């Protein structure tokens, strides 16, 4: 395991401290929260932890099933106690960019239904201003090139459809993913999110505003938990 992967493992496991028996837990998607899912599975098997989980992607659903986490449909619950998820960037105001794993729509639905959101990250995800990662945007396949062109004009930056082996990458919802290479320039993420959502063809945008309550941050010096002073935890 290389240093970056080791930091992900440390952060992912540390976030499990927020999970208590009886909780309804949103299970995020990505290479860091994978370790959260693995640790929750271990605690169920070895410590008798009793929870139910709601996965945010097929990949997380498969992993959670493998490690023995009982899963339920989100619609069968009134709400969730907590969601633990990763991030591609977070700023000093605890605003996030997510969607590198192409699961942003499901992740945002689950986050909106959760009483609290804990983000797991390593120090590379901490930024002064959002945008260097780009903004993932889930869009409908219909006339996707037209939507990409509209977004490019709106944001005044390069917007590209995410592809693999010459084919569009599709989300678990059957939509396309576009990445807006806006650079570290998002000083008002709330307005930027609203502006992008106003474009016909856009399903959801990877700006997660006013959702994150804490960040479990791993660095070479160890793990620290950053609490949002305006958060719910």
Residue linked to tokens 């917007």: 159
- Cβ 109 vs Cβ 77: under 8 Å: no
Cα(135)–Cα(179) distance, integer angstroms: 5
Q: What is the DSSP string of 165-182?
A: TTEE-B-TTS-EEEEEE-
Query: What residues pair up with 186 in beta bridges, in sequence order?
Result: 130
Query: What residues pair up with 118 in beta bridges, in sequence order?
Result: 84, 214
Phi, psi of 43 (to 5 degrees): -65, -35
Q: In what order do the strands lie in the sheet with 24-27?
A: 52-55, 24-27, 82-86, 117-122, 214-219, 222-227
- Cβ 37 vs Cβ 55: under 8 Å: no
Cα(197)–Cα(157) distance, integer angstroms: 17
Q: What interhelical angle do 189-197 and 144-155 show, nearest 10? A: 150
Indicate which residues carry an active-site annotation.
107
- Cβ 139 vs Cβ 201: under 8 Å: yes
């Amino acid at each position: 395991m290389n240093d970056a992967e080791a930091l992900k493992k440390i952060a992912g496991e540390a976030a499990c401290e927020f999970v208590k028996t009886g909780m309804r837990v949103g299970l995020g998607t990505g290479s860091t929260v994978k370790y959260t899912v693995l640790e929750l599975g271990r605690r169920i098997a070895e410590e008798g932890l009793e929870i139910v989980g709601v996965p945010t992607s097929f990949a997380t659903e498969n992993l959670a099933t493998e490690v023995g986490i009982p899963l339920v449909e989100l619609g069968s619950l009134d709400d969730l106690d907590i969601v633990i998820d990763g991030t591609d960037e977070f700023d000093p105001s605890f605003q996030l960019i997510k969607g590198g794993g192409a699961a942003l729509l499901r992740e945002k639905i689950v986050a909106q239904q959760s009483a609290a959101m804990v983000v797991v990250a390593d120090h590379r995800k901490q930024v002064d201003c959002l945008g260097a990662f780009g903004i993932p945007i889930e869009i409908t396949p219909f006339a996707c090139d037209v939507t990409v062109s509209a977004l490019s004009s709106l944001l005044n930056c390069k917007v590209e459809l995410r592809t693999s082996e010459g084919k569009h990458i599709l989300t678990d919802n059957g939509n396309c993913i576009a990445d807006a290479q806006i650079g570290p320039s998002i000083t008002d993420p709330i307005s930027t999110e609203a502006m992008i959502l106003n474009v016909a063809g856009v399903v959801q945008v990877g700006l997660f505003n006013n959702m994150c309550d804490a960040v479990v941050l791993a660095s070479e010096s160890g793990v620290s938990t950053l609490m949002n002073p305006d958060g719910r935890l």
